[in-house]
A = this chain, B = another copy of it.
Amino acid sequence: MVAVEDISNIVIGRLPIYLRALSQLIEEGQSVTSSHELGERLGISSAQIRKDLSHFGEFGKQGTGYKVAHLYDQLRQILKIDREWRVAVVGVGDLGRALARYGGFVERGFRVTAVFDNDPQKIGTDLGDLTVMPMSALYNEITAQHIKIAMLAVPAAYAQSVCNDLVAAGVRAILNYAPITLNTPFNVHVQYIDPVAYLQQMTYYLDSDPMDSVVKDSGAAS
């Protein structure tokens, strides 16, 4: 076991993916797996998987593979999701609504317990088990609930300001859906979900068949 600082973000980022595959194996009733099998399922090399896991101790013996349930439990402990984290959602547009109602959080360690918006039409309305609260209640509610995690689903123009409010209230992890890069103190972790950035990454690899897209302009520089 090495210190937190020594393990790269990229390695940590793969652990939830391993966990997801292990969860699937458990559902399928499989009790033992191998780095080879996990690698096949995930499109990651078995050597990479063994190396990633070796940062955290010995999980399997050469030749006998990994005990699925044990590795699953260990990864949940390492990622600190062997408990349930309360999460705030800020912004109740289409996306915030989808996040607040999403059923897949609870079984994987997270429960949305507070939802905020600044629209008087939305404040006070019900969203699943929750009631949309005004932004003015954000500080008190988040501190009272000891919420450390928030999902930010407000328009880009408001994202930094809301981010500042969240950090002031003690939030230390933000999943940001607004397409801007946030400025945060060093002890606040931010992950970005920008579907367009993912799409743009894939079009790089697509053929330039004129039937498949509409050429709008050739760029101001050409």
A interface residues (Cβ-Cβ under 8 A, vs B): 4, 9, 12-13, 15-17, 19-21, 24, 41-43, 69-70, 73-74, 76-87, 93-95, 97-99, 101-102, 104-105, 108-110, 146-149, 151, 172-173, 175, 179-181, 189, 191, 193-209, 211-222
Q: Are B149 and A195 in touch, CB under 8 angstroms?
A: no
Q: Are A214 and B180 in touch, CB under 8 angstroms?
A: no
Q: Are B110 and A101 in touch, CB under 8 angstroms?
A: no
Contact of A4 among B199, B205, B219 (CB under 8 A): B205
Complex formed: what's the CA distance from A83 to B220 in Å? 13
Q: Are A197 and B95 in touch, CB under 8 angstroms?
A: no
Q: Are B203 and A20 in touch, CB under 8 angstroms?
A: no
A170 to chain B, nearest CB (A): 9
Complex formed: what's the CA distance from A122 to B180 in Å? 33
- Contacts A216-B84, A219-B73 given: A109-B181 contact, CB under 8 Å? no
Q: Oligomeric state, in number of copies?
A: 2
A205 to chain B, nearest CB (A): 5
Contact of A104 among B4, B189, B196, B215 (CB under 8 A): B196
Complex formed: what's the CA distance from A45 to B181 in Å? 15
Complex formed: what's the CA distance from A104 to B104 in Å? 25
**What are 12 sample pairs from A and B whose C-beta atoms fall under 8 A apart?**
A19-B200, A76-B219, A79-B201, A80-B213, A94-B102, A109-B199, A146-B209, A147-B212, A149-B199, A151-B195, A173-B206, A175-B198
Residue of B nearest to A219 (CB): B73
Q: Are B82 and A216 in touch, CB under 8 angstroms?
A: yes
Q: Are A221 and B74 in touch, CB under 8 angstroms?
A: yes
Q: Are A173 and B199 in touch, CB under 8 angstroms?
A: yes
Which chain B residues lie closer than 8 Å to A93 at the CB level? 98
Q: Are B83 and A200 in touch, CB under 8 angstroms?
A: no
Contact of A79 among B149, B203, B211 (CB under 8 A): B203
A94 to chain B, nearest CB (A): 4
- Contacts A101-B94, A213-B85, A215-B82 given: A191-B198 contact, CB under 8 Å? yes
